[in-house]
Amino acid sequence: MANVIVIGAQWGDEGKGKITDLLSKSADIVVRYQGGVNAGHTVVVQDQTFKLHLIPSGILYEDTECIIGSGTVIDPQVLIEELDQLAALNISTENLMISQMAHVTMPYHRLIDQASEQKRGKRKIGTTGRGIGPTYADKSERTGVRIIDLVNANNLHEQLEWTINYKNVILEKLYDIPPLDPHEVIQEYMGYAERLRPHVVDSSLKIYEGIKKKRNILFEGAQGTLLDLDHGTYPYVTSSNPVAGGACIGAGIGPTMIDRVIGVAKAYTTRVGEGPFPTELDGDLGEQLCDRGSEFGTTTGRRRRCGWFDAVIGRYAVRINGMDCLAITKLDVLDTLAEIKVCVAYNIDGVHCEEFPSSSLRFARCEPIYETLPGWRQSTAQCRSLEDLPKAALDYLKFLAELMEVPIAIVSLGASRDQTIIVEDPIHGPKRALLDANGAPVNHQPHDSPHSPFAN
Ligand code: GDP
Ligand code: IMO
Ligand code: MG
């Protein structure tokens, strides 16, 4: 039995959907713990591509229970569209459960998100425009609507009428947007409530019962470490906590129940939206990565900004998440390059810096210091074991693992399930060694880590 968190180690879109789907084969329950329909997780199974926004990527396995947890924000319209799309593909969603404590994205949240971005002008965040920030803001302000309110029709009418009238003042006076008709919105949302009611549960209790029965539980993060509200590149972040710690709060369980944390990172870096990105590549190389990696947002279709792998943020992600091992995705995208750069440190105002600077002003001034490695210039898409990989590709992976001081458990070489090398089973295999052969504690100090990247 293991309870495992899968998190994004960069700025999102690392391939969490593919890795979660892969690991779901041995999971009994998969839980999404934060974020909303800003997420876009792609899972490719044979010739079918599934794009999931809210429903956990475990849904493709018939016997796996899926839970949209308390820390998420739910746009019911999009969720119902997602349910319909899966039904049209003959995927059962009977095993989907929705936390009664999750918050509901309302039409005014979407309007305020989009209008406030416009008002910010060049200070915009580059949000997905899905109302995520305003939904979480209302949750903190304690004016939010929860799933329990939605499915409890008695409360809904009274609560929404007050809230919509309150929001109408903001829409009209601040953003010059025509007011919403409370009765129309209430009617629309009562329809959604009917549809979602059979799925609504006390999800924290369901998860706890699963833990007591020693079921394998996977916690699927959305977004990535650098988009974390507290630990990311603020203010260019999302409004929730994608980091591993967020799984406990978002799922409603204690930290003692987590067995391990798997970080997912691309073999290079991408970012969507605004904000600093030290290793960003302008010009031909950036275009090449974008084209080969099909780097267009799953949710908004926006072109993703592309750059070299940044081991400084990688090490930071290892620290912030307490990462046990890594899944490196999209190695195949680098197949054609003659040489590959990796950012090993930053130059900030002439000072050499190996740690992620917590000041956003300093982060914006980081200049990457690169080490250059030879490329392998041959296809890796058909490799199914480490021995199949060209030596230069293996050396590249070892270099990343050494820099990040964490072993690599999975290497992904294409979007489909079989284009994967499982180096070490991250659920059932040994956890990262915390004791050495003599039983003495291993001190994972930065920069003194001679351990093999592929074994614990
Ligand atoms: P997520 O948000 O972290 O789940 O990632 P996305 O699904 O938004 O973006 C990752 C994209 O890369 C998807 O289109 C995947 O199908 C695709 N993908 C995942 N792993 C690989 C890989 O190893 N190689 C290639 N070429 N594509 C991959
Ligand atoms: P997945 O789960 C990549 C980015 C947006 C923007 C910032 C804030 O697919 O990895 P928001 O709408 O959340 O208020 O936008 O966060 N962003 C993502 N980038 N992948 C995602 O999700 C993202 N979700 C939000 O582009 O920069
Ligand atoms: Mg995505």
Six-digit token string for 443:
């001190």
Q: Which ligand is closest in space to the CA of residue 12?
A: 2
Ligand 1: residue of 5, 42, 223 to mutate (most ligand atoms within 8 A of CB) is: 42
Q: What's the pLDDT score for residue 155?
A: 75
For 249-287, what is each residue's pLDDT tens digit?
A: 999 999 999 999 999 999 999 999 999 999 999 999 999
Report residue 300's pLDDT band, with 50, 70 and 90 as the boundaries: confident
Nearest protein CA to atom 5 of ligand 2, as residue: 127
Q: What's the pLDDT score for residue 299?
A: 81
Nearest protein CA to atom 13 of ligand 2, as residue: 238
Q: What's the pLDDT score for residue 448?
A: 35
Q: Which ligand is closest in space to the CA of residue 15?
A: 1
In contact, 6 and 262? CB cutoff 8 Å: yes
What percent of the chain has a predicted confidence (pLDDT) above 90? Answer: 88
What are the residues whose beta carbons fall under 8 Å from the beta carbon of 8, sequence distance 6 or more? Answer: 14, 16, 221, 222, 223, 224, 225, 227, 242, 263, 264, 265
For 343-402, what is each residue's pLDDT tens digit?
A: 999 999 999 999 999 999 999 999 999 999 999 999 999 999 999 999 999 999 999 999
Report residue 437's pLDDT band, with 50, 70 and 90 as the boundaries: low
The residues carrying an active-site annotation are: 13, 41
449 phi and psi, to 5 degrees?
-110, 90
Nearest protein CA to atom 6 of ligand 2, as residue: 127
Neighbours of 173 (CB within 10 A): 9
Six-digit token string for 371:
């080490």
Six-digit token string for 160:
């929404």
Tell me how far the alpha carbon of residue 113 is from its chain's centroid. Answer: 20
Averaged pLDDT, 227-236: 98
Q: Is 421 helix (H, G, I), strand (E, B) or coil?
A: strand
Q: Is the pLDDT of residue 455 over 90?
A: no
327 touches ligand 1 (CB under 6 Å): no
CA angle 63, 66, 70 (to 5 degrees): 160
**For residue 39, with 0-12 CB atoms within 10 Å meaning exposed, 13-18 middle and 19 or more buried, which class applies?**
buried
Distance CA 293, CA 15 (A): 11
Report residue 165's pLDDT band, with 50, 70 and 90 as the boundaries: very high
Ligand 2: residue of 127, 220, 302 to mutate (most ligand atoms within 8 A of CB) is: 127
What percent of the chain has a predicted confidence (pLDDT) above 70? Answer: 94
Give the Å distance between the CA of 53 and the centre of ligand 3.
Answer: 8
Q: What's the pLDDT score for residue 134?
A: 98
Give the Å distance between the CA of 40 and the centre of ligand 1.
Answer: 10
Q: What's the pLDDT score for residue 431?
A: 63
Distance CA 233, CA 140 (A): 21
What are the residues whose beta carbons fall under 8 Å from the beta carbon of 352, sequence distance 6 or more? Answer: 345, 346, 369
Residues with CB under 6 A from ligand 2: 8, 12-13, 38-41, 125-128, 130, 132-133, 222-224, 227, 236, 238-239, 272-273, 298
Ligand 2: residue of 19, 33, 34, 38 to mutate (most ligand atoms within 8 A of CB) is: 38
Distance CA 94, CA 32 (A): 16
Q: Is the pLDDT of residue 225 over 70?
A: yes
For 71-118, what is each residue's pLDDT tens digit?
A: 999 999 999 999 999 999 999 999 999 999 999 999 999 999 999 999
Distance CA 170, CA 175 (A): 7
182 phi and psi, to 5 degrees?
-55, -40
Give the Å distance between the CA of 401 and the centre of ligand 1.
Answer: 20
Nearest protein CA to atom 6 of ligand 1, as residue: 13
Q: What's the pLDDT score for residue 133?
A: 98
